[in-house]
Chains A and B, each alone.
Chain A
Amino acid sequence: MVDRRDGPSGPPSGVREIDVSVLRDTVARLIVEANFNIPADILQALRDAVDREESPLGRRTLEQLVRNYEVAAAERRPVCQDSGVAVVILEIGQDVHWTGGSMQEAVYAGVREGTRAGYLRWSVTGDPTRMLKISGEETPAVIHVDLVPGSDVRILFASKGFGAENMSALKMFVPADGVPAITQFVLDTVDRAGANACPPIIVGVGIGGTFESAALLAKKAVLRPLDVRNARADVRQLEVELLERVNELGIGPQGFGGRVTALGVNIEVYPTHIAGLPVAVNLGCHSTRRISTTL
């Protein structure tokens, strides 16, 4: 244990100091890039879906979506007016020491600066009850922190639109319900969401943990790239089966009917209580904006 009060001005050996202004500037850059550029794997999945879609109106819709993303990137416009809630998932090395101020305030400031610089919509209200009359440039983010070994900081930034977020769901099942109940819950959630979630969607499923951690698992699942599959073979198989079942619902692009309702189903699992089976389904629209970087 190093007593920093009387010690030298530098950090103890093995500790990496990062000024929070670096985090602020990085977040400001990420929110702009995320809103102008759809992730490459999603754009590719949409292009692939054009060939697979049998419904003529569905195919035309997919072509328009691809065109929208090309135009947004070329002209540096927001891909969607709903710049969403900034969700910042930080994996912080336990040997990192933040200097220069509050880490949380730095994230908020980065969101504020990027929203202004990118001409993004001020999509967040400071008071969810609306009892306070708050309007204007509100930019609190939703921040999740995982402490990990090492001295790197990995930032996963997402602008989460609320068309799909509003249609997400969580249910506490019992162990005897098992995989059939998980399957039906995913299908019911997607079917109820229909066109509201802006299909083709990405389905994030969190299984296990507790009430709140299942929801976070689902968030991490929906933000996982489409070309990354679960490490467990049986879970991977469930992802494939659920995607097939979801695409049999017939909702199609934008709810106009067709074969392509979802681009992917991503599942994350975590141990849970012997009495429980929490399942959360977080839906992402076709415009699921995410970007990551490492400090």
Chain B
Amino acid sequence: MSNVFELKCQNGIAQTDLDALRAGDAVELTGQVISVRDASAARLVAAVREGQPLPISLENQILYAVGPSPPKPGQIIGSAGPTTTSRMARFLPSLFTAGVRAIIGKGELHGEEAAPFLSHGVVYFGAIGGLGALLAKQISSTRIVAYDDLGPEALHALQIFAFPVVVIIDRHGGNFHETARSKWRKTR
């Protein structure tokens, strides 16, 4: 396995950092990400399309597809692993237009669902699904930005540190789920 890249994303993520990434790279992210899920993505996109002001600027931001469980007393956040990105695929082009530069999620994106990543220069990071208890330990603060009526789907600003992800879709046409599978597949 190759090295682990440590990237900062406190004030968005730098174009040069994104350019350097290749599908399959292991990355640790430190900085701010904005949570997104089915219901909040739909609401954000409705605001974008209607020309309404957004509750938080998405310029150069990283979105994290997550609906955390509630914190126990004394905890910052409950379990907080990624959810399936493809459920929100139809919303992504509008969010990319609004300035989003990377998505953290889990699962496959191919064909029409993957194409907007390349055309907008957006990177898709995969976090490990079902790692919610461990990933919660890489989140140091959380703040509800908007849509608190959506409960676990509310828009949160999350501070993350050394948050482990793998580059799935890079800016150079690489799709790790596709190449990894064909590398390890046995054909009869």
Q: Tell whether A68 pairs with B69 under 8 Å between CB atoms, given A248-B185, A255-B126.
A: no
* A257 & B1 in contact (Cβ 8 Å cutoff): no
B49-86: CB near A (< 8 Å → 1, else 0) gives 00000000000000000111111100000111101101
* Most chain B beta-carbon neighbours within 10 Å: one of A120, A161, A195, A198: A195
* B108 & A77 in contact (Cβ 8 Å cutoff): no
Which residues of B are found within 8 Å of A79, using beta-carbon distances? 79, 130, 132-133
Which residues of B are found within 8 Å of A121, using beta-carbon distances? 67-70, 78, 152
Instruction: List the one stretch of A54-62, A95-103, A150-158, A264-272 in contact with chain B.
Output: A54-62
Q: Answer yes or no: A206 CB below 8 A from chain B CBs.
A: no
User: Of A119, A161, A255, A286, which is within 8 A of B70 by CB?
Assistant: A119
Instruction: List the one stretch of B93-101, B115-123, B155-163, B173-181 in contact with chain A.
Output: B173-181
* Complex alpha-carbon distance, A53 and B140, angstroms: 33
* Complex alpha-carbon distance, A286 and B128, angstroms: 11
Interface range on chain B (Cβ under 8 Å from partner): 35 or more
B143-185: CB near A (< 8 Å → 1, else 0) gives 0000001111000000000001010000000001101111111
Which residues of B are found within 8 Å of A82, using beta-carbon distances? 67, 81, 83, 132
Which residues of A are found within 8 Å of B182, using beta-carbon distances? 250
* Complex alpha-carbon distance, A200 and B181, angstroms: 14
Chain A residues with a Cβ closer than 8 Å to the other chain, count: 49
* Complex alpha-carbon distance, A135 and B148, angstroms: 11
* Complex alpha-carbon distance, A71 and B138, angstroms: 13
* A198 & B106 in contact (Cβ 8 Å cutoff): yes
Q: In the complex, how many angstroms separate the beta carbon of A274 from the nearest chain B beta carbon?
A: 32
Q: Tell whether A285 pairs with B130 under 8 Å between CB atoms, given A255-B177, A259-B184.
A: yes
Q: Tell whether A248 pairs with B188 under 8 Å between CB atoms, given A119-B71, A255-B177, A286-B130.
A: yes
Q: Tell whether A248 pairs with B186 under 8 Å between CB atoms, given A77-B79, A195-B126, A256-B176.
A: yes
Q: Answer yes or no: B134 CB below 8 A from chain A CBs.
A: yes
Q: Tell whether A77 pairs with B133 under 8 Å between CB atoms, given A250-B180, A257-B180.
A: yes
Q: Answer yes or no: B31 CB below 8 A from chain A CBs.
A: no
* B69 & A61 in contact (Cβ 8 Å cutoff): no
A144-166: CB near B (< 8 Å → 1, else 0) gives 00000000000000000101001
Q: Answer yes or no: A252 CB below 8 A from chain B CBs.
A: yes
Residues of B bordering A, CB below 8 Å: 1, 24, 26, 66-72, 78-81, 83-84, 86-87, 106-108, 126, 128-134, 136-137, 149-152, 164, 166, 176-177, 179-188
